[in-house]
Amino acid sequence: MKEYKEIQVALLGLGTVGLGVYKVLQMQKEEMQHKIGTEIKIKKILVRNLEKAAGKIEDASVLTDSWQEIVNDDEIQIVIEVMGGMEPARTYIMEAMQAGKQVVTANKDLIAADGKELMDQAKKSGCDLLFEAAVAGAIPIIRPLKQCLAGNHLSEIMGIVNGTTNFILTKMAQDGMEFEEALALATELGYAEADPTADIEGLDAGRKVAIMASIAFNSRVTFDDVYTEGITKITASDIRYAKETGSVIKLLGVARNTPEGIEVRVHPMLIPERHPLASVNDSFNAVFVHGDAVDDAMFYGRGAGELPTASAVVGDIFDIARNLQYECCGRISCTCYKQLPIKAMDDICSKYFLRMLVENEPGVLAAVTAVFGDRKVSIEQIIQKKKIGELAEIVVITEKVKERHVKDSLKAFEEMTAVKKVSSVIRVYGE
């Protein structure tokens, strides 16, 4: 065992998360010595704009705009990357590990794309590369998956892992807002970024589900493997109709380990109101897990925000501080020891909710059901909702069918004059 009066660290970035980490470490100043047997001291903070950053913290002398000053400083033992984005974050993390430093990162983009290379380097350097904050912010999920649930074959992960879209869908459900209105509110309240694409198109959620799937199924899944579909087409009507069937609509990241390969996707989904994920509202996140021993489990909390994200980062820093003292860094490394195939989206089976505008004439329903039937799509329910002039709106809920067969049916409807429009195609959770 090695004793340290203090452990010196460097923070890369002083944005929302960086400032959060700075604050939480201050809030824990009196506790650290007791909790982890040493003190964490921020020796350097890397920023782009020294002047702007100086206004944010008490002691501006720790600020630097030179990475070399950090990577070449042998006293700095932990590098905390909270700058985000691919480069230069990737290079800095690689160089930090090559220099024998431990790394904490909150960077989901990077881990979801280059997790393998980074973990390989961590192994080579015998160092820790922890990233609890990269998935679902404050929610403990990486450590539970890697350690607490290690005695499981995990078969399913399902998560609400994007707070912006969950806030939007909650507003649409609770206040009857349309998507655009709810998005405007999210922007106004600071839940959505100026360019909300990564959130509303499901890309952010896709990165998180790739990381979780890799850990849960012990096989590398990258962001490129993930099918993503956002919530821009969801309407207040869809949500109302879903409610009539006892369901809510959520943007879910779904990963399943099946005998034919890993399914990994992000899309809106109808889930029953009684499902634990259904009551996860506003900007909260939650991850639902199923395994052969644990059965069902769920982890719920804040998916983003200054202090919540810092909570996860500081948990990782404290853990590394213990590892440094016990000289056991690298104790938990990459757990992707399998090479499972990724299942093509066309081969995935799901139930579907479809909303269609058809001519209100005898024989049209029969023609629609025939199209489905000819393409192996069994129908569970078909409901005529309302008449709009000469047209009728119908809602179809299918049995569990292959994605490709639904696509084939949709293609056929395009050719049918009696079908004016297929307004919504949303997957439905369940057997």
Positions annotated as catalytic residues are 208
389 φ/ψ angles, rounded to the nearest 5 degrees: 60, -120
Closest to a second copy by CB, 232 vs 281, is 281
Give min distance, CB of 151 to a second copy, in A: 3
- DSSP string for 256-322: EEETTEEEEEEEEEEEETTSGGGG--TTEEEEEEEETTTEEEEEEEE-S-HHHHHHHHHHHHHHHHH
Point out which residues bind a second copy (CB under 8 A).
20, 24-25, 27-28, 31, 34-36, 132, 138-140, 143-144, 147-153, 218, 274, 276, 279-281, 284, 291-302, 305, 307-308, 310-315, 317-319, 322-323, 326-328, 331-332, 335, 337-338
Closest to a second copy by CB, 151 vs 176, is 151
Going by C-alpha positions, the residue among 174, 275, 244 that lies closest to residue 397 is: 244
Give min distance, CB of 324 to a second copy, in A: 11
d(CA 5, CA 24): 20
Which three-class secondary structure state does DSSP give residue 103?
A: strand
Q: String of b and e for 382-412 (b: at least 16 CB within 10 Å)?
A: beebeeeeebbbbbbbbeebbbebbebbbeb
d(CA 22, CA 88): 21
- DSSP string for 64-80: ES-HHHHHT-TTEEEEE
Closest to a second copy by CB, 325 vs 369, is 325
Give min distance, CB of 316 to a second copy, in A: 8
d(CA 123, CA 125): 5
Give min distance, CB of 282 to a second copy, in A: 10
Give min distance, CB of 315 to a second copy, in A: 4
d(CA 318, CA 36): 7
d(CA 104, CA 107): 9
Closest to a second copy by CB, 5 vs 34, is 34
Going by C-alpha positions, the residue among 238, 268, 276, 229 that lies closest to residue 252 is: 268
Closest to a second copy by CB, 219 vs 424, is 219
Q: Give me the half-sphere count of Cα atoms (radius 13 Å) on the Cβ side of residue 177.
A: 16
Closest to a second copy by CB, 174 vs 378, is 174
Q: Which residue has the tokens 């980062």?
A: 313
Give min distance, CB of 287 to a second copy, in A: 10
Three-point CA angle 120, 125, 126, nearest 5° = 95
Give min distance, CB of 64 to a second copy, in A: 24
Q: Which residue has the tokens 């998935």?
A: 135
Closest to a second copy by CB, 239 vs 394, is 239
